Structure 1
Amino acid sequence: MGTHVIKMPDIGEGIAQVELVEWFVKVGDTVTEDQVVADVMTDKATVEIPSPVSGKVLALGGQPGEVMAVGSELIRIEVEGAGNVGAGLPREEASAVAAPAPEPAAKPAAPAPVAAPAASTHQPAAIVPREAHERPLASPAVRKRALDAGIELRYVHGSGPAGRILHDDLDAFLAQPTTSSQSAPGGYAKRNDSEQIPVIGLRRKIAQRMQDAKRRVAHFSYVEEIDVTAVEELRQHLNKKWGDSRGKLTLLPFLVRAMVVALREFPQINATYDDEAQVITRHGAVHVGIATQGDNGLMVPVLRHAEAGSLWSNAGEIVRLANAARGNKASREELSGSTITLTSLGALGGIVSTPVVNTPEVAIVGVNRMVERPMVINGQIVIRKMMNLSSSFDHRVVDGMDAALFIQAIRGLLEQPASLFVE
């Protein structure tokens, strides 16, 4: 028997260190060739690390949340044959190699990739003791599904990172038979427990990027309401006529088209700012970041060359990118290079929001909830579909007047949707 050491691979792009996010194996496990043993995270994406050999895990080289240098020892595996560690080790060193390393600190289980047979399992959907005012971590889609099903999320066990509640957790909760031992805790019961949740992986990257953006960017926000009745009628007409053959359209590709057309007049907003070099780069290509909330946190996959796409091609690419991001399958290239970002909370969009600029960009367009409201038009009260745009800008680069005119241009295009396609 021999020992095979897997080192932290060089992921490219000059990356010297990565964060160890999650182990899918533990000391003593048997692994097979090409089985994913760990997830690591760069500044841009999560990367799966497969094993090139089959064997038994002898030691793990780090704990989740630890930053490891490229080339450092990731895992040791006992293999048939000589392995890749030189023969003739001193007895003391050989013993150290074979000694099991301390297991990583306990953390909430997360779904394992399909390639890893050592997949983690969900805990029983027992009542989770949370205070009534405590807001469990969950994506908007999970919250909406729970609301529709009449489930209070504070009673659902979360198996995702940092205790985030996933769709699988709702399935487990619904499948669990109700017993007297699972009745809800009393609303007036005293609580003295506490829980420490390490901020690692994607959650750490999100925190760092948001903190950096708020620290560096001179944010200001601008809110305008838009009458989207006409563009909604057009969307429904196009879906009725071509939805089966070309795919269904949401409002997002219309918003993307409006941004593309408006940016022709305001190129200073389709820009990135290197504040260390003091250089503003205005981009001809419109690479739209689509803020996407997944079970593991917020990611921003990039719709490239939105200026060259039709409504349907952009719509299809938005769906593909969102699915890749939510499935943690988006590549580094798909998560980088945006020049302006579009963010929407869908049905949970609220009335007003203050989105954070996705640095080094200088603008982000936020979409709020669409509602029907009475409006006065030509002296008559009529029911119209209204929606607010809550957008933020980097005031170091974008003047307030230009930001307002940009949003007004988007408003005009959406309220007269034929103008979206007039060249």
Structure 2
Amino acid sequence: MGTHVIKMPDIGEGIAEVELSQWHVKVGDLVVEDQVLADVMTDKAMVDIPSPVHGKVIALGGQPGEVMAVGSVLISIEVEGAGNLKESAAPAPVKEAPVAPNVETAVESKPAAAAAPRPAAVCQGPMVAREADERPLASPAVRKHALDLGIQLRLVRGTGPAGRVLHDDLEAYLAQGQSNASAPAAAAYAQRHDEEQIQVIGMRRKIAQRMQDATQRAAHFSYVEEIDVTAIEELRAHLNEKHGASRGKLTLLPFLVRALVVALRDFPQMNARYDDEAQVITRLGAVHVGVATQSDVGLMVPVVRHAEARSLWDSAAEISRLANAARNGKASRDELSGSTITLTSLGALGGIVSTPVLNLPEVAIVGVNKIVERPMVVKGQVVIRKMMNLSSSFDHRVVDGMDAALFIQAIRGLLEQPATLFVE
């Protein structure tokens, strides 16, 4: 038997060290060639490190959260053959799940190589006893899924980072036959004194760093405007009825992207990046819209490039493609970087008002709140209208308050009179 030592590979771009984010094997495990051994994180990407050999893990070179130099020992694997010590860098990463240079960023857990699939989430017990007011960690998509299934999230054990409830956890819960069960009174109302410490590493550390950096460096201010979206919702329903089968269904997002494109013609200072070290503002003609996308572990922001050159259906198709790639951990680095302005929405969970954090070095982010029906006075008559707030944030170092208000009001005008979106 011999020992094959795998060293931390040179991932490129002059990177001298990376953070060991997660092990997918432990000492004593048998591994096969191309099986994912670990995830490591650079400033820009989460990278899978595969095994170049078959063998048995005999030593791990670091702990999750540890920053390791390129060329340091990552893992030692016992292999069949001569007893001499073999060394190599890990083979080229089988896949990258990039970290967008946006503030609201996260990467969903990625599937391992087909040769060694990772086990599905398994419910570790019939239910979890949480306090009645305790809100378990879960994405909006998971919460909606749970609501549709009639599952109380507080009873579901989460297997994601920091105990986050994933879609697989809902399926495991249902498989346990607990979807319609209620917690025993003793368990549901029992006092709890347990504590859990969660190490902030990997993606969560990167998100924390970027959020802190953005709030410390930019002079945030927010502006909220109410919009009557009755007309554009009627237009959307009409287009879906007429063309949905052949061109695909339209959500509100491609209309919002179009509104951004048109409004930015008169407010180019919003479609910009600010290099605060060089004290240079770069205004861009191309509109690359970052669309915040929810995954099971947080937000990723794929970029709809050259939105100014896309039709409604082209934008809709690209948004859908990028969102699926981001949720599946298959979006490329280029697809998750380079945005010039960001659109963020929590969909049906969007609330009334939010205060989104800027995606540095961008200077504007437009936040979409949920649509609600409310009585409104129109031409002296009380009527029911579909209303929605835009909660947007700007960098006050670059954008004046008056300009921000005028910009959002321009978007409001376009959405309330949707024909103007297409008048050149």
Partner of 2:195 in structure 1? 194
| Deviation for aligned residue 1:360 | 0.9
| Deviation for aligned residue 1:118 | 5.2
Partner of 1:115 in structure 2? 114
CA offset digits 1:30-57 (Å, max 9, x no partner): 2111111111222233221111222221
Correspondences of 1:181-260 after superposition (within 5 Å): 183=184, 185-260=186-261
Structure 2 counterpart SS, 1:293: strand
Partner of 2:422 in structure 1? 421
In structure 2, how many angstroms separate the alpha carbons of the residues matched to 1:83 and 1:238? 69
Correspondences of 1:24-423 after superposition (within 5 Å): 24-82=24-82, 85=85, 112-115=111-114, 117=116, 119-124=118-123, 125-178=125-178, 183=184, 185-423=186-424
Unaligned 5+ segments in structure 2 are 88-108
Q: Is the 8 A contact 1:127 1:184 kept in 2?
A: no
- Shift in alpha-carbon separation, 1:216–1:71, aligned structure 2, 3 A: same
Q: Is the 8 A contact 1:302 1:334 kept in 2?
A: yes
In structure 2, how many angstroms separate the alpha carbons of the residues matched to 1:112 and 1:419? 45
In structure 2, how many angstroms separate the alpha carbons of the residues matched to 1:218 and 1:149? 43
In structure 2, how many angstroms separate the alpha carbons of the residues matched to 1:181 and 1:351? 32
In structure 2, how many angstroms separate the alpha carbons of the residues matched to 1:190 and 1:289? 44
| Deviation for aligned residue 1:166 | 0.4
Q: Is the 8 A contact 2:5 2:86 kept in 1?
A: no
Q: Which moved more, 1:197-206 or 1:125-134?
A: 125-134
CA offset digits 1:84-137 (Å, max 9, x no partner): 8459xxxxxxxxxxxxxxxxxxxxxx6743535151443334322322222211
Q: How many residues align?
A: 401
Structure 1 counterpart SS, 2:335: helix
| Deviation for aligned residue 1:176 | 1.0
- Shift in alpha-carbon separation, 1:207–1:116, aligned structure 2, 3 A: farther
In structure 2, how many angstroms separate the alpha carbons of the residues matched to 1:19 and 1:278? 31
Aligned partner letter, 1:27: V
Aligned partner letter, 2:160: G
| Deviation for aligned residue 1:187 | 4.7
In structure 2, how many angstroms separate the alpha carbons of the residues matched to 1:28 and 1:408? 62
In structure 2, how many angstroms separate the alpha carbons of the residues matched to 1:329 and 1:204? 21
Structure 2 counterpart SS, 1:370: strand
CA offset digits 1:199-252 (Å, max 9, x no partner): 222222111111111111110000001111111111111111111111111000
Q: Is the 8 A contact 2:120 2:168 kept in 1?
A: no
| Deviation for aligned residue 1:322 | 1.1
Partner of 2:14 in structure 1? 14
In structure 2, how many angstroms separate the alpha carbons of the residues matched to 1:15 and 1:46? 13
Aligned partner letter, 2:207: I
- Shift in alpha-carbon separation, 1:181–1:244, aligned structure 2, 3 A: closer
Unaligned 5+ segments in structure 1 are 88-109
Structure 2 counterpart SS, 1:265: coil
Q: Is the 8 A contact 2:356 2:393 kept in 1?
A: yes
Aligned partner letter, 2:283: R
- Shift in alpha-carbon separation, 1:176–1:47, aligned structure 2, 3 A: same
Aligned partner letter, 1:146: A
- Shift in alpha-carbon separation, 1:83–1:291, aligned structure 2, 3 A: farther
Q: Is the 8 A contact 1:111 1:160 kept in 2?
A: no
TM-score, normalised on structure 2? 0.89
- Shift in alpha-carbon separation, 1:266–1:5, aligned structure 2, 3 A: same
In structure 1, how many angstroms separate the alpha carbons of the residues matched to 2:194 and 2:27? 31
| Deviation for aligned residue 1:152 | 2.1
- Shift in alpha-carbon separation, 1:175–1:86, aligned structure 2, 3 A: closer
Structure 2 counterpart SS, 1:207: helix
- Shift in alpha-carbon separation, 1:272–1:82, aligned structure 2, 3 A: farther
In structure 2, how many angstroms separate the alpha carbons of the residues matched to 1:51 and 1:366? 43
Structure 1 counterpart SS, 2:3: strand
Q: Is the 8 A contact 1:46 1:328 kept in 2?
A: no
In structure 1, how many angstroms separate the alpha carbons of the residues matched to 2:299 and 2:203? 8
In structure 1, how many angstroms separate the alpha carbons of the residues matched to 2:74 and 2:181? 46
CA offset digits 1:150-175 (Å, max 9, x no partner): 32222111011111100111111122
- Shift in alpha-carbon separation, 1:118–1:247, aligned structure 2, 3 A: closer
CA offset digits 1:323-348 (Å, max 9, x no partner): 11111222222111111110000000
In structure 2, how many angstroms separate the alpha carbons of the residues matched to 1:365 and 1:199? 29
| Deviation for aligned residue 1:182 | 6.4
Aligned partner letter, 2:310: G
Task: State the structure with bigger RCO (CA 8 A, min sep 6), 1 or 2.
Answer: 2
In structure 1, how many angstroms separate the alpha carbons of the residues matched to 2:262 and 2:42? 34
Q: CA RMSD in A?
A: 2.1
TM-score, normalised on structure 1? 0.90
Aligned partner letter, 1:130: R
Kindly, what percent of the aligned residue pairs are identical? 78
| Deviation for aligned residue 1:381 | 1.6
In structure 1, how many angstroms separate the alpha carbons of the residues matched to 2:334 and 2:47? 12
In structure 2, how many angstroms separate the alpha carbons of the residues matched to 1:53 and 1:279? 50
Partner of 2:23 in structure 1? 23
- Shift in alpha-carbon separation, 1:401–1:84, aligned structure 2, 3 A: farther
